[in-house]
Structure 1
Amino acid sequence: MNNTQTGSLLSRLVLSFLLFAAPLPSAWSLDTELPENIGSPDVTDLPDLGNSAGALITPKRERDLGKAFMRSVRRSEKVMEDPLLTDYVQSLGQKLVNNSSAKGTPFSFFLIDDPQINAFAGPGGYIGIYTGLLLTTETESELAAVLAHEIAHVTQQHLLRAWESTSQMSIPSAAILLAAIVLGATVGGDAAAAAAVGGQAALIQKQINFTRANEQEADRVGIDILAESGYEPRAMPSFFSRMGKANRVYASKLPEFLMTHPVTTNRTADALGRAEQYSYKQTADDLRYHLARITLQQQAMPTPQEAIQEFESMLKDGRYRSEAAVHYGIALAHLRAKQFDDAAAALDELMRSHPNTIEFIVSRSEVDARRGKGADALRRLSAAIDKHPGSYALNIAYAETALAQGQPANASQKLQGFLDFRDEEPRVYQLLARAAGDQDKQALGHQYLSEYYYWIGDLESAILQLEIALKRPELNFYESSKLESRLAELRAEQDEEDRKRSATP
């Protein structure tokens, strides 16, 4: 099997776990019809696919597999490191998880800087959202609908049940294979072919028959999650319908692999029938949804001056869903242009109406810090962290400001506290390494750098940092033993990856 054939095969399976795998409507489209002999079960009799994976993989192994999967994603995709955007999608996703059967289970939501209308679910609750999807949605309920669908893929264990064979594989090998499957359509044929050695391609083909049932079940469960979370459940079929209308315009450009998984009129009708079981809700968008969208739009503008001109035009013409969000876009553009007085004035006005909005607090603190008022920035951020201790954006902003103010111990304290909430954010370890270095704790700094490289998927550099740390004279026996144990774990993973590479034709 050549690379093109293998890539095509993996691309077909990826559609089992992607809600929308097509690029933006301006470039590609999805078919909205199926042949007559392919039906769709009645919405009241959707399939219950069972839970066979639970008997073959423990929760700990699933979580370990998820972490390894995420490292593979970071190696191949442009995962966004913007703390405020990450903070928003994580808070939205967690709200949905809390109203699902997975309440209490850790999930990780992250953005990928790519214009595709795309989202995917990996093992262990790792859910990626492409920026193109966020910008294409028109309401927060639509975005929540996509996330709820992906959460349902996890709670129903679709990926794990399709890949029960991974229980016999090592964690690194299984994670690389699963990442190639989930990202096969975007990574390309070479990456997919490398992961499909050892007869795995035949197993992939065997699982394709389950994809339509998986999607129907994820729609059904996702709509229930939406309703329980206070969002409008009709947002899911509404988004399906809008996508279908856009896709019909571009049907002549339909990629071949999308033919196996269209957004069909039957699927839209089934989702609408499920949603109609709930009463209509007039759900207001959270301001943070609009702030995330305007942030992406502002970042895409070639210059801050162009952004200011465009946003002021939007205000003049009334072309907005949130006036506050447009004013925030103008403030961000002023900040980007180093027009700090204008940025401060705009943010102060916003904070009078929205004093607890994290985006405004972080941006206003950045203005203070860049105007030489770091102490004011730290006080503002510290007070906000007391109210939102698990906020990634607030903790990162505080640590960066504290380091700039020559307070590495304070930065370390806040970041160590944040690790109790999430312990796999690369930027946290990068800042901890810098704080340790500023305190002349060289061994600790190399240890944190090792974790940084590990979480971005660079095993060689992670191993090297631990080897350097172990040569430091200040280590005691306990610290050396701890580092040696961690080094052994990383070397074992490296050996596994090397064996997989050598086995690839």
Structure 2
Amino acid sequence: MRKKSSAPFIILSCALILSLSAVAQDMKYSNRNTLPEIGVVASDAISLDKEMIIGDAVMRQMRGQSPIIADPVLDEYLQDLGNRLVVHADNAKFPFQFFWVNNDAINAFAFFGGHIGVHAGLMRRADNESELASVLAHEISHVTQRHIARRMQAQKRASPLALASLIGGVLIAIANPQAGMAAMQAGSAASAQLQIDYTRSNEQEADRIGIAMLARAGFDPKGAASFFSTMAEEYRMVSRPPARLLTHPLTETRIADARNRANDYPRRYLPINKQFELAKARIKSRYSFDADYSLEYYQAAVEQQAQRSREASLYGLTLAYMRNEENKKAQKILDELLEKDPTNLFYLDAATDIYIALGEPLKAVEMLKPHVTHNPRNQVLALNQANALISAQKYDDAIILLKDFLLVKKDYQVAYQMMSEAYQKAKRFSQMHQSKAEVYALYGAYNRAVDELQYAYNFAGDNHLQKQRIRARIKQFRDQEDRLERL
């Protein structure tokens, strides 16, 4: 099961907010190894509470205007990987949210409030899970070290006007991303040397802390250096490096430093991670390749004799057959995969989609039932079961399942979209409009959310309790909008 935004792509990355206007130059790092004292660092520039408010607002903006991949299977994998790192991070002040961006650039980015985005293109080029984890650890370190807030503090010391421009640019970007990026760039142009010096410190610090985190979490600490080397080699001869190299410049010094730091930890020789290989195959087959090429690519991969992950190739071929509406061929492969690994979420998700495509959603319901009973709030199982129930016209059952899921994951837009569909098909129009309002609110479109609630109010009839709840939710949305304006 998958849903994705098709809106234009706009990125608000930690690196962009740090205004790296001169990062294409060959920079040498400072030899200073002492970490700055954190905790109260930059607290007078921006508080943790305000950072979370801004981060939430930017995330809502991105949902509405960026090609974020809303794919429960990939989301589950990425969040699990990120959480395995975060538990070994110091100074993690809030829950982290990891998400995918449907863009083939090699890039990842962090911004206020523990939000970390990963481009599909970065996953496609990573050779193993330690390399992917090294990028996440680096971005987590940007957040835990509060590099954005510290950048603001540095700007405040240099010029209060520059700081005002930088904060203003972030807030403008909530309403008008293009204007916001221009404002941030203009606001920091007056202190170019400060930007360069501060960026060197940020990157060195994030590398050092990230590699330590990587080792503590059980990954190969050499993952960072190997990924650096792969990127540097691939783009050595190109005139314009990818976004990742522009915002995180790779010098020979930085690569050597990563290797040296990794040598401080025991080398880990990890087996091929099946979940990583399956996630990579899903990225390629569903998002990176077009339908025809995906089929050709995975047919060739399966035919190759020597493969490091035959199951991932078979899974990629299954998805390619599904994209080309050859569902019977897909089902034949998937039945064999499920026989060997009956609880694998990647396989259960694909099997659900195949049953629905073949007009047999009740088979999907029965297949998923024992898994949902065992783990009712897992997003892959719950949302696939809800999707199958809606397809089987069991709308009330789907609604009950989705309500229960949203109690623990209240900001998952796919669930609200499915809830809206279930209410619409059940002809429960007041609830349908309330669900649509929640979707608009997740995009930061509070005016449209209020409009949907007004429609819901009109459909509520004599249900006074429901009308009271709708009025209360309208007030909450307006209060949220006012809070952002006051920032």
Task: Specify the TM-score bucket, using the shorter chain as the normaliser.
Answer: 0.7 to 0.9
Letter in 1 for 2:365: L
Aligned residue number for residue 178 of structure 1: 170
CA contact (8 A) 2:387 2:418 kept: yes
Task: Provide structure 2 residue ranges, at least 5 long, that are not aligned to the other structure.
Answer: 1-11
Letter in 2 for 1:374: P
- How far off is 1:241 after superposition? 2.1
Post-superposition CA distance 1:127-154 (Å, at most 9, x none): 1001111111111110111011111111
2:335 aligned with 1:348, yes or no? yes
Question: Aligned pair count?
Answer: 465
Runs (4 or more) in structure 1 with deviation over 6 Å come to 173-176, 179-182, 255-260, 495-500
Letter in 2 for 1:40: S
CA contact (8 A) 2:14 2:148 kept: no
2:86 aligned with 1:86, yes or no? no
Aligned residue number for residue 7 of structure 1: none
Distance in 1 (CA, whole Å) between partners of 2:148 and 2:93 is 20
Distance in 2 (CA, whole Å) between partners of 1:468 and 1:382 is 35
CA contact (8 A) 1:80 1:113 kept: yes
Aligned residue number for residue 280 of structure 1: 267
Distance in 2 (CA, whole Å) between partners of 1:205 and 1:74 is 34
Aligned residue number for residue 210 of structure 2: 222
CA contact (8 A) 1:403 1:411 kept: yes
Structure 1 residue aligned with 2:251, among 249, 264, 286? 264
2:102 aligned with 1:100, yes or no? no
Distance in 1 (CA, whole Å) between partners of 2:91 and 2:373 is 27
Distance in 1 (CA, whole Å) between partners of 2:462 and 2:251 is 62
SS of the residue aligned with 1:40?
coil
Letter in 2 for 1:41: N
Distance in 2 (CA, whole Å) between partners of 1:322 and 1:436 is 42
Post-superposition CA distance 1:194-216 (Å, at most 9, x none): 5679x676689865542211111
Structure 1 residue aligned with 2:16, among 7, 14, 17? 14
Bigger relative CO (Cα 8 Å, ≥ 6 apart): 1
Distance 1:282 1:236, change over 3 A: same
Please provide the CA RMSD for this pair.
3.7
Distance 1:104 1:348, change over 3 A: farther
- How far off is 1:229 after superposition? 1.7
Aligned residue number for residue 359 of structure 2: 372
Task: Provide structure 1 residue ranges, at least 5 long, that are not aligned to the other structure.
Answer: 1-9, 23-29, 501-505
SS of the residue aligned with 1:146?
helix
Distance 1:356 1:257, change over 3 A: closer
Distance in 1 (CA, whole Å) between partners of 2:106 and 2:272 is 20
Q: Quick one: percent identity of the two aligned structures? A: 30
Distance 1:203 1:68, change over 3 A: farther
Distance in 2 (CA, whole Å) between partners of 1:334 and 1:416 is 33
CA contact (8 A) 1:451 1:462 kept: yes
Distance in 1 (CA, whole Å) between partners of 2:365 and 2:77 is 21
Distance 1:389 1:212, change over 3 A: farther
- How far off is 1:275 after superposition? 1.4
CA contact (8 A) 1:443 1:475 kept: no
- How far off is 1:338 after superposition? 2.8
Distance in 2 (CA, whole Å) between partners of 1:416 and 1:367 is 25
Post-superposition CA distance 1:159-200 (Å, at most 9, x none): 23323699x9xxxx9998438789x9xx76x44225679x67
- How far off is 1:269 after superposition? 2.0
Distance in 2 (CA, whole Å) between partners of 1:212 and 1:424 is 35
Aligned residue number for residue 145 of structure 1: 134
Aligned residue number for residue 418 of structure 1: 405
CA contact (8 A) 2:211 2:224 kept: yes
2:312 aligned with 1:307, yes or no? no
Distance 1:202 1:413, change over 3 A: farther
Distance in 2 (CA, whole Å) between partners of 1:326 and 1:136 is 16
Post-superposition CA distance 1:358-404 (Å, at most 9, x none): 01011112222333332221122232234444432222211111111
- How far off is 1:492 after superposition? 5.1
Distance in 2 (CA, whole Å) between partners of 1:256 and 1:144 is 19
Aligned residue number for residue 66 of structure 2: 77
Distance in 2 (CA, whole Å) between partners of 1:473 and 1:354 is 47
CA contact (8 A) 1:69 1:176 kept: no
Bigger mean CA offset, 86-95 vs 355-364:
86-95
CA contact (8 A) 1:402 1:410 kept: yes
Matches within 5 A, 1:314-333: 314-318=301-305, 320-333=307-320
CA contact (8 A) 1:68 1:175 kept: no
Distance in 2 (CA, whole Å) between partners of 1:11 and 1:324 is 35
CA contact (8 A) 1:33 1:265 kept: no
Letter in 1 for 2:232: G
SS of the residue aligned with 1:80?
strand
CA contact (8 A) 1:33 1:264 kept: yes
CA contact (8 A) 1:16 1:215 kept: no
Aligned residue number for residue 26 of structure 1: none
Aligned residue number for residue 48 of structure 1: 36
Distance 1:422 1:59, change over 3 A: farther
Distance in 2 (CA, whole Å) between partners of 1:419 and 1:15 is 32
Aligned residue number for residue 119 of structure 1: 108
Structure 2 residue aligned with 1:130, among 119, 122, 129? 119
Matches within 5 A, 1:439-450: 439-450=426-437
Aligned residue number for residue 446 of structure 2: 459
- How far off is 1:493 after superposition? 5.4
Distance 1:285 1:463, change over 3 A: farther
CA contact (8 A) 2:61 2:444 kept: yes
SS of the residue aligned with 2:70?
coil
Distance 1:259 1:454, change over 3 A: closer
Letter in 2 for 1:420: L
